Amino acid sequence: MELNKFEESVREKMGKRQIKPSAQSWEKLEAKLDAKENKASQKSWKYIAAAVAVLLVAGTFLWNPNTSESPQIVEEPVNEIIEKPEVNKPENDVQIVSKENNQEEKNSAEKEIRNKAANKSKSAILAEKAPEAPLLEEVEIEEAVVLETISLEPPVSKEKLIQSKLEEIIASAAKNDEISEDEVDILLAEAASEISRERNLNIYASGNEINANALLAEVEDEIYQSFKAKVFEVLKEGYLKAKTAVANRNY
């Protein structure tokens, strides 16, 4: 019990006690703080320098002179798309439009609807592109446009077969009531891929000269591209590491 009293007085007195530090103590502390901060900033400078070096290396890769061969690079994704099976025959959008205009004069049935549709198809490459209008009338018109544009694709002799197909399409379209934007996008993508496929065919067929050296260069370029990607990956990792290190330098 006595001891607790003693401890109480110890706590009270020691808790209040203050000891004045020596005169130069703040200067000492300041020196310590300066040293620490300098060290920290030096460290961060190191990281910044490393990051700059990494960026420079990345830059040399980026501006490497293979820009002249860039058309070949562009071909890659296109080829991938072509590998997927396509239902429609290659046709050009512009051709569709022009043929449609010709056909207008010949066909007598559905004349009213066609006139309206033709006006629309002139303004837009694919008339289906404005399908979201909720009115039933307009939907009907657009269906008619689909009918026309697709019916013009094949030569006239196959018209019957196409007609039956068209009926199917119309039926499905009637089910959906509206042609969604996704469908429009898919149609556009198909058309684009067909155009580029045709161009490729032209290049290989009409040129007729498949240069062995060119092929080799292409393959080499592909290898180079994948290597480049790997290097970028490594650089990215390094950069992120440096970044986190810089961010954490004060801890």
Which residues contact other proteins (rule: CB under 8 A)? 2-3, 5-7, 9-11, 13-15, 17-22, 25-26, 28-30, 32-33, 36-37, 250
Of the pair 11, 111, the CB lying nearest other proteins is at: 11
Rounded to a whole number of angstroms, the minimum distance from the CB of residue 18 to other proteins is 3
Rounded to a whole number of angstroms, the minimum distance from the CB of residue 24 to other proteins is 10
Whole-Å CA distances, 216 to 7, 65, 143, 212: 90, 18, 49, 6
Query: Residue 174 in contact with residue 127, Cβ under 8 Å?
Result: no
CB count, 10 Å around CB of 31? 11
CB count, 10 Å around CB of 185? 11
CB count, 10 Å around CB of 121? 22
Rounded to a whole number of angstroms, the minimum distance from the CB of residue 33 to other proteins is 6
Of the pair 78, 245, the CB lying nearest other proteins is at: 245
Angstrom distance (rounded) from CA 85 to CA 206? 24
Of the pair 8, 222, the CB lying nearest other proteins is at: 8
Rounded to a whole number of angstroms, the minimum distance from the CB of residue 30 to other proteins is 7
39 Cβ contact partners less than 8 Å away, ≥ 6 residues apart: none
Of the pair 31, 94, the CB lying nearest other proteins is at: 31
Rounded to a whole number of angstroms, the minimum distance from the CB of residue 10 to other proteins is 5
Report the C-alpha dihedral over residues 201, 206, 210, 211, rounded to 10 degrees. -130
Rounded to a whole number of angstroms, the minimum distance from the CB of residue 31 to other proteins is 10
Of the pair 37, 132, the CB lying nearest other proteins is at: 37
Sign of CA dihedral 77, 83, 88, 89: positive
Of the pair 28, 122, the CB lying nearest other proteins is at: 28
